[in-house]
Amino acid sequence: MNFMQKLEQAWSSSDSLLCVGLDPNWQKIPDHLKTLPEPVFEFCKAIVDATHDLVCAFKPQIAYFAGMQAEDQLEKTLNYIRETYPHIPIILDSKRGDIGATAEMYAAEAFDRFKVDAVTVNPYMGQDSAQPFLDRADKGVVILCRTSNPGAGDIQDLEVDGEPIYQRVATMVNRHWNSNHNCCIVVGATWPEQMATLRELTGDMPFLVPGVGAQGGDVESLVKAGRTADGRGLIINSSRAIIYAGDDENFAIAARRVALETRDLINQHRQ
């Protein structure tokens, strides 16, 4: 299956639009894991095992692993998900964006080295910087559009011919970059009004939605603004609120509890 088919299947099998972000932070990993040979992997494995039936995707953020020189534990985590839960899509959050041979190497990093199903990409340098990713027709390309951070408007709200840049990006991706039907866009949960506009501009294109949980995005507003006619179309990510719900030996149980609550809250507003 390609990424879009795998995502559709995951939406159905888990009855969930929830994506759990894997952002391992050494200061927050429970102390009892830190004496183990591979504490980052053990932490991520426990979170994955505790939440696998509640999610439509997992989203590891590469910076958390790279910052601890733990790329080998990232690879082990990815291998574990693929082998144990092969039906769950993996989105590598690396926000790559460069040109020429460098972009090709970033695509190889995501899809050949890490073997993920999709990757986040920054569109700032234009279509040629995204093309090596877009050419992988079986893989997902998740393009930054309207991000969830407070400073998003510094650039994304600037107008080009009377249209905000984030809308121009969405239209450009929908009309010109999505020839392989493998594109998604990132739309922050903190901007439900903009999300509704982007849904009108992009049809049924999936949205990766960060900003739920620790960043304060309102679930009801974002689901009603971004859902497609069939109650899908969203990959709603929560990272810190779930994976750090507990800080002791029962951290995975706490993570599952919050993931279940979040999934069920999302589902209340899908129809």
CB 137 within 8 A of CB 182: yes
Distant-in-sequence, close-in-space partners of 14: CB < 8 Å, separation ≥ 6: 53, 54, 55, 56, 263
231: helix, strand or coil: coil
Q: Among the options 34, 76, 95, 224, which is catalytic?
A: 95
Residue 142, strand partner residues: 120, 184
Strands 234-238 and 140-146: unpaired
Distant-in-sequence, close-in-space partners of 136: CB < 8 Å, separation ≥ 6: 107, 111, 182
Residue recorded with tokens 């998604």: 184
Element (H, E) at 236: strand 234-238
| Residue closest to 102 by CA, chosen among 78, 77, 130, 75 | 130
CA 103/CA 113 separation, integer angstroms? 14
- Catalytic, 6? Answer no
195: helix, strand or coil: helix
CB 226 within 8 A of CB 258: no
| Residue closest to 93 by CA, chosen among 112, 79, 74, 76 | 74
Catalytic residues: 95
